[in-house]
Amino acid sequence: MSGFVPEELIDNIRERADIVEIISEYLPLKKAGKNYKALCPFHQERTPSFVVSPEKQLFHCFGCGVGGNVFSFLMKWEKITFPEAIRNLGEKAGIPVSFSGEEERISGYKEELYRINELVAEIFQGELKKNKRAQAYLKGRGFDEETVATFKIGFAPSSKEFLQACQKRDLSREKLQELGLFFASNKESRAYFRYRIILPIFTSRGRICGFGGRVIDNSMPKYLNSSESPIFDKGRTLYGLNFSKEVIRRGNEAILVEGYTDLIYLHQVGVRNVIASLGTSLTPWQARTIKRYTNQIFIAYDQDKAGVAATLRGIDLLLEQDLRIKVIPLPRGKDPADLVKEGGDLFLRKKAEATPYFDYRLKQEMEKRPSLDLEDKIEILNALFPTLGKNKNLVRIRDFIKKLSHELDLDEESIGIEFKKFKRDNSKDLFRSPFLRKKDGREEMEKMLLQLMLDDEEIINIVEKEWDADLFRNSSYCLIAEKLINSLKEGKVASAKLAGQLEEENLSSLISSFSLSKSSWEEDSKQNLVRDLMGSLERNNLQRRINELRKKIKVGEDKGEEKEVERWLQELTRLKKQIISR
């Protein structure tokens, strides 16, 4: 991405924006040695593990692994893109930023679509003012004027009226089609939303990315959402986040509801930390986004069959983000909007009764099996172990096992043993993820070598002289090492610059982590250490090639490929000599 923003401009802005100064605007930083420390804003903690280095112009949290340069910080805090972070810091430093090429073309194109959506929303809002029936409907549903204005609620007229209004504003038909607002075939052209109450759907920054429409009579479908477009992806939208993100961050809790009406009703009675998943099931993207603002979530889905299923799926997704999850016990057949309409603080009282997710899960499973004999109990354990296994905290796991023992009247120790068995049988899954893969000695050595390179330019020189394509087998480390060597050739190595260049590959936190970790070597023995490491890595490579050759030779002998085998044997002797001389 950075390729489209002139490198010089990025350097210029980064050099003027002091990381300590910028981060201090958001967090209280405390001096600690040559660095600064703070409680990490990206995860919950009691002792500070968030480190900012004025010397390297990098930050890193040793608790949750977030890190990078001043741009990375801003992107993570403000939830903005790299170009936006550049523009933002450029403004602060008094450097005007304009983009060139592809980036500008794409953002210009999307900008145009957003602009059209804003204008279309205005058309719908204007139509609402003309339509008494729609107004009466909203009033009857209890929406006050302020709510209608805040949520930019409108009304979609007939196809003809909609088209006329669009023509008057000179809106391109093609783009209206692209936004799914309009269809044209050779027979007829038709607006997508007709005679419906319209609720714009906002991005987290308050832009209108799509629309939802509800009928005011009994026609079907009752609700209709914009189809996906270059700016609208339902699974990557959390309705209401633009209104609630600050409240959620400040209060460190969020309430998750199903639809926009629930959210609007709650907003109207002052419950402002609400987001809606738009449709029944939460997506992994939505779960990750929630985690960025809070680590505590209350699920308030309808408790009908579909709602229960959605709650259960949501729990597993949110658990993967290590969130504290509670479920609000809504009376069956009622949604949050109903409770608000019933008056008082009924919803908040229900919220106070929210059950921790595990109790909720347990209750669901127990209700399914009212006879609760021994086989039922075993089934319940099997149903709950996967959820329990997603938990990362041992104390919590123990507590849940105790609860299971109590509720199911089973021996605690046996449940514990069964759970361990379950974990062991399912642990294969763990190793599928590259991050959880057991680190071998080789990876540790590569990491240390890279840390040394980041620490000292002289070491980059030593490594470069003996550079061999196989030196780093970890592709991320290899990329970083190559970048280090190149930037030294250009003059100077700046870790903060490097972190920026690698932002897109998600490697910036690797750089900050390596650069800010306490080094475990003696200053004056560094060069020897590097030579030892490189020697070991090379021997490891040679050994690998030897093993491969041996396999080839064996297969070749079986197939009778004498000539090749002869050649491989010579190669093997050569490699063996090499490994001894190392």
- Nearer to Zn ion by C-beta: 64 or 478? 64
Rounded distance between C-alpha atoms, residue 500 and residue 511, angstroms: 10
**Site for Zn ion (CB under 5 A): which residue of 5, 19, 61, 85?**
61
In the complex with Zn ion, the residue whose CB is nearer, 322 or 470, is 322
Query: Of 292, 291, 277, 296, which is closest to residue 320 (Cα–Cα)?
Result: 291
Residue environment code for 251-271, b if the CB has 16+ CB neighbours within 10 A, otherwise e: eebbbbbbbbbbbbbbbbbeb
Q: If you ran DSSP here, which 8-state letter would residue 232 be given?
A: B
In the complex, minimum distance from the CB of residue 65 to Zn ion, in angstroms, rounded to a whole number: 7
In the complex, what is the shortest distance from the CB of residue 513 to Zn ion, in angstroms, rounded to a whole number?
A: 12
Question: Minimal distance in Å, beta carbon 142 to Zn ion?
Answer: 42
Q: Which stretch binds Zn ion (CB under 5 A): 60-68, 75-83, 299-307, 450-458?
A: 60-68
Nearer Cβ to Zn ion (75/339): 75
Q: CB 37 → Zn ion: shortest distance, Å?
A: 12
Provide the minimum distance between the beta carbon of 78 and Zn ion in the complex, in angstroms, as a whole number: 17
Contact between 422 and Zn ion by CB under 5 A: the answer reads no
Stretch binding Zn ion (CB under 5 A), from 54-62, 257-265, 507-515, 529-537: 54-62
Rounded to whole angstroms, how far apart are CA atoms 57 and 68? 9
Q: What is the smallest separation between the CB atom of 62 and Zn ion, expressed in angstroms?
A: 8
215 touches 222 (CB < 8 A):
yes
Contacts (Cβ under 8 Å, ≥6 apart) of 241: 202, 204, 275, 289, 293
DSSP 370-394: TT--HHHHHHHHHHHHHHHHH---H
51 three-state secondary structure: strand
- CA–CA separation, 233 and 236 (whole Å): 5
User: Vertex 269, ends 263 and 273: CA angle to 5°?
Assistant: 50
Which SS3 state, helix, strand or coil, does residue 456 take? coil
Site string for Zn ion, 433-472 (x = CB under 5 A): ----------------------------------------
The site string for Zn ion over 321-360 (x = CB under 5 A, - otherwise) reads ----------------------------------------
Minimum Å gap between C-beta 72 and Zn ion is 13
Residue 43 or residue 115: which is nearer to Zn ion going by CB? 43
How many residues touch Zn ion under the rule CB under 5 A: the total is 6
Would you count residue 63 as binding Zn ion (CB under 5 A)?
yes
284 forms bridges with which residues in the sheet?
none
Candidates 56-64, 301-309, 445-453, 570-578: pick the segment binding Zn ion (CB under 5 A): 56-64
Q: Which residues, at least 6 apart from 188, have a Cβ–Cβ distance to it below 8 Å?
A: none
3-state SS assignment for residue 203: coil
Residues of this chain, 374-403, that bind Zn ion according to CB under 5 A: none
How many other C-beta atoms can be found within 10 angstroms of the C-beta atom of residue 245? 22
Residue range at the interface with Zn ion (CB under 5 A); choices 62-70, 257-265, 478-486, 523-531: 62-70
| Cα–Cα distance list, 574 to 13, 541, 545, 578, 581 (Å) | 53, 14, 11, 6, 11
CB of 120 to Zn ion, least distance (A): 41
Residues 27-46 that bind Zn ion (CB under 5 A): 40, 42-43
User: Is 215 a binder of Zn ion (CB under 5 A)?
Assistant: no
CB of 42 to Zn ion, least distance (A): 5
In angstroms, give the least distance from the CB of 64 to Zn ion: 3
C-alpha–C-alpha distance, residues 414 and 428, integer Å: 23
Of the two residues 364 and 512, which places its CB atom closer to Zn ion in the complex? 512
Among the residue ranges 59-67, 277-285, 287-295, 548-556, the one whose residues contact Zn ion (CB under 5 A): 59-67
For residue 289, CA distances in Å to 100, 323, 433 come to 30, 12, 21
Asked if 181 interacts with Zn ion (CB under 5 A), we say: no
- Give min distance, CB of 47 to Zn ion, in A: 11
Is 64 a binding residue for Zn ion by CB under 5 A? The answer is yes
Q: Which is nearer to Zn ion, 64 or 308 (CB)?
A: 64
Q: Which is nearer to Zn ion, 40 or 224 (CB)?
A: 40
Angle between helices 508-516 and 441-455 (to 10 degrees): 80
Nearer to Zn ion, 18 or 45 (CB): 45
Residue found by looking up tokens 């023995």 in the block: 525
Check: CB of residue 232 under 8 Å from CB of residue 226.
yes
Give me the least distance between CB of 173 and Zn ion, in Å please: 49
Site residues for Zn ion, window 231-260 (CB under 5 A)?
none
Footprint on this chain of Zn ion (rule: CB under 5 A): 40, 42-43, 61, 63-64
